[in-house]
Amino acid sequence: MKQNLVQKILEDHLIDGKCETGEEIGIRIDQTLTQDATGTMAFLQFEAIGIDRVRTKRSVSYIDHNMLQTSFENPDDHRYLQSAAARFGVYFSRPGNGICHQVHLERFAVPGATLTGSDSHTPTAGGMGMIAMGAGGLDVAVAMGGGAYYLKVPKVMRVNLTGQLQPWVAGKDIILEMLRRLTVKGGVGWIVEYGGSGVGTLTVPERATITNMGAELGATTSLFPSDEQTRRFLIAQDRESDWRELKPDGDAEYEETIEIDLSELEPMIAQPSMPDRVVKVSEIEGLPVHQVCVGSCTNSSYMDLTRVAAILKGKTIHPRVSMTLGPGSKQVFQMISQEGTLSDIIAAGARIIESGCGPCIGMGQAPPTGAVTLRTFNRNFAGRTGTSPDRSYLCSPETAAAAALTGEITDPRKLGEYPSVKLPEKFIINDNMIVVPPEDGRDVEIIRGPNIKPVPAKDPLPDVLEGELLLKVEDDITTDHIMPAGAKILPLRSNIPAISEHVFVRVDETFPTRAKAAGGGFIVGGLNYGQGSSREHAALAPMYLGIKAVIVKSFARIHFSNLVNFGIVPLEFADTAGYNKLNQGDNLKITNLLKGLDEGKVILTNETTGSKVDLVTALSARQVEIIKAGGMLAYTKGKNQ
Ligand code: MIC
Ligand code: SF4
């Protein structure tokens, strides 16, 4: 049978199940990555699983999110993670070394291998021909222990790229165009495989921008072939031996194919407050801009920043605009400083911030009230900047630099000649900020600060669930709505009792108090519930508050798995009209739940109105067992006994 590239790599790693669309399979994971904001939970859970040393080919622990040390919490987490990495045989990327996805692409990603990461933008490595997927920390902990990663085999969508990008049009505009066409729900259940004659014109960093932001489509991951461009990038990273050619069979089949002619694309921009509210930059030109932020795992590569430097060179940032720029990695930072282009950026008046997530996750640089902020990032969910309400737009570094100079949204094609930037033949290779673990870490002491609290446990699932409908929300609820991030809340990531005080506060600040007073209850939502981040805190903290089941029109992939892992029952309306039969404050009851889950059908009674609502589950038999046990940790322990 002719295979597409996704099928080839999945088949190559198959441990359990049949590689057919919709079937649940378990695959071998070659590499894992964790970052500090989700990593503490992942490592606490790895400790709870009780394995002595990671069993992957390579596991890397990064510090990039919680880089603001306003008190002891974040630095304590860093120290815990560094000691745990040494203890369990994990490479440790020290704070300052860069954003996990950028560094992983530079130094570790390998064509044809598999990667899971406790961060939703793990698919960045798909730009290198890797099957790279975001997952909850617990799933990554299991993979670190050598366990299979389970997923339902997604459908494969081929994106046929033809032509060539015109000057001032960037890789970012390709993925923004994809979001315009498909929306933030369009990729759920799919892997996006790029191909066609246009692929060879895109460098690995440009491909990585596209696969990175494929997360915003809801896609399981996105994948590029491994070709001469990949080889060039790996040679420049002094890793040619990691290269191998990877491509789909000549007439491989795809469940869907879409065409993008690169030559016809224009600069694009996503408007507040969803990454799919995309229009052409030319359609909203002239809007005054107050802040411009260049960076994040989407657009902070050497090529991105060198181009921004060339655009800013000899000019001054508009007086109305505060511009920040954060290099994606120490490698990028060192390259632009050595070549002197950093000096052009500084001279123009940009504020240089360290290599980390920074403003992308609300760790500083909140915009002023009512301000328009233009960001080269991947998410503009309401309030994510730290200011609420906010007006956050997503665009390419070219469009961002243009606005920084003119003080308004400007089609960058008006800036004149496009600065030519080439992939360097050699990057500066200096891995001195990556700590290699000792051969035997059994004597290493794990250091825990007072903010690091144990992972809460849950009892096995009862047959009857009863309680109040505590919150009813709409479509496209993100994990940023459920469990906000930012400078105030992120330091609590290792402390579930403390962070649970912030669940849903941006939607309804009374939620945590009401949930606790009611002894828990239910949440009802619309389509694509839980899109966005992989943070399992969006399941763990509600579980801690006593949430028993979440009932929605449809779920986003990673959040669905996280609910299962923490024993919250994920249910869907059999008929979406059921959504209208439930109102906040109603008393809900589900009986015969255990049998219902086995059969995939559950009947809910609205005790307040007397109406019945049919619900279904998309749980595999394995997931039903996990839920019944009270979550993945209890399930794993039960199996090992
Ligand atoms: C994000 O971009 O939302 C994050 C912060 O990187 C998250 C992970 C987290 O919440 O720690 C993600 O994308 O998974
Ligand atoms: Fe960090 Fe932002 Fe990338 Fe998330 S999206 S990993 S917060 S830079």
Give the pLDDT confidence score for residue 641 in this predicted structure.
58
Atom index in ligand 2 nearest the CA of residue 37 equals: 7
For residues 335 and 474, membership in a common domain is answered with no
Is position 435 within any domain?
A: no
Q: What pLDDT, in 10s, does the model give residues 474-511? A: 999 999 999 999 999 999 999 999 999 999 999 999 99
Is position 429 within any domain?
A: no
Q: Write the CATH number for 611.
A: 3.20.19.10
Give the pLDDT confidence score for residue 640 in this predicted structure.
64
639, pLDDT greater than 80: no
Is position 453 within any domain?
A: no
Give the pLDDT confidence score for residue 465 in this predicted structure.
98
Return mean pLDDT, the chain: 98
CA of 209 to the centre of ligand 2 (A): 12
Domain final position from 264, 286, 303: 264
For residues 156 and 49, membership in a common domain is answered with yes
Whole-model pTM above 0.85?
A: yes
Q: How confident is the model at residue 433 (pLDDT cuts 50, 70, 90)?
A: very high
Give the pLDDT confidence score for residue 64 in this predicted structure.
98
Q: What is the mean pLDDT of residues 16-42?
A: 98
- The answer to whether residue 61 is catalytic is no
Amino acid identity, residue 177? E
Is position 327 within any domain?
A: yes
Is position 437 within any domain?
A: no
Tell me if 37 CB under 6 Å of ligand 2: no
Q: What pLDDT, in 10s, does the model give residues 50-87? A: 999 999 999 999 999 999 999 999 999 999 999 999 99
Helix, strand, coil shares, percent, the chain, to 5: 35, 20, 45
Q: Which of 77, 296, 535 to mutate to test the pocket of ligand 1 (most atoms within 8 A of CB)?
A: 535
Ligand nearest to the CA of 541: 1
Domain final position from 226, 248, 264: 264
Tell me if 363 CB under 6 Å of ligand 1: no
Is position 438 within any domain?
A: no
251 Cβ contact list (under 8 Å, min separation 6)? 2
Atom index in ligand 1 nearest the CA of residue 535 equals: 10
Is position 430 within any domain?
A: no
Tell me if 37 CB under 6 Å of ligand 1: yes
Q: What is the mean pLDDT of residues 10-31?
A: 98
For residues 223 and 301, membership in a common domain is answered with no
For residues 253 and 347, membership in a common domain is answered with no
Number of Cβ within 10 Å of residue 57's Cβ equals 14
Strand, helix or coil at 258? strand
For residues 62 and 210, membership in a common domain is answered with yes
Q: What is the mean pLDDT of residues 1-27?
A: 97
Domain hosting 14: range is: 5-264
CA-nearest residue for atom 3, ligand 2, is 297
CA of 357 to the centre of ligand 1 (A): 9
Is position 237 within any domain?
A: yes
Q: What pLDDT, in 10s, does the model give residues 518-572? A: 999 999 999 999 999 999 999 999 999 999 999 999 999 999 999 999 999 999 9
Tell me if 357 CB under 6 Å of ligand 2: yes
For residues 536 and 600, membership in a common domain is answered with yes
Q: What is the mean pLDDT of residues 287-294?
A: 99
Q: Write the CATH number for 34.
A: 3.30.499.10
For residues 51 and 190, membership in a common domain is answered with yes
Q: What pLDDT, in 10s, does the model give residues 324-359? A: 999 999 999 999 999 999 999 999 999 999 999 999
Share of the chain above pLDDT 70, in %: 100
For residues 257 and 331, membership in a common domain is answered with no
Tell me if 534 CB under 6 Å of ligand 1: yes
For residues 323 and 257, membership in a common domain is answered with no
392, pLDDT greater than 80: yes
Atom index in ligand 1 nearest the CA of residue 480 equals: 3
Q: How confident is the model at residue 13 (pLDDT cuts 50, 70, 90)?
A: very high
CA nearest neighbour of 635 among 151, 147, 154, 43: 147
How many domains are contained in the chain? 3
- The answer to whether residue 440 is catalytic is no
Tell me if 363 CB under 6 Å of ligand 2: no
Give the pLDDT confidence score for residue 638 in this predicted structure.
77
Ligand nearest to the CA of 38: 1
Ligand nearest to the CA of 359: 2
Residue 14: CA atoms inside 13 Å, Cβ hemisphere, count? Answer: 17
Give the pLDDT confidence score for residue 41 in this predicted structure.
97
For residues 222 and 315, membership in a common domain is answered with no
- The answer to whether residue 65 is catalytic is yes
User: Pairing between strand 322-325 and 291-294?
Assistant: parallel
Tell me if 378 CB under 6 Å of ligand 2: yes
CA of 615 to the centre of ligand 2 (A): 35
> Where does 268-407 have alpha helices with state H?
302-312, 330-339, 341-348, 397-406
Domain final position from 221, 249, 264: 264
282, pLDDT greater than 80: yes
For residues 16 and 78, membership in a common domain is answered with yes
25, pLDDT greater than 80: yes
For residues 242 and 355, membership in a common domain is answered with no
Q: What is the mean pLDDT of residues 195-215?
A: 98
What tokens does 130 get?
A: 């890797």
Instruction: Write the DSSP string, 49-98.
Output: HT-SS--SSEEEEE--S----SSSHHHHHHHHHHHHHHHHT-EEE-TTSB
CA distance 193 to 255: 11
CA of 295 to the centre of ligand 2 (A): 9
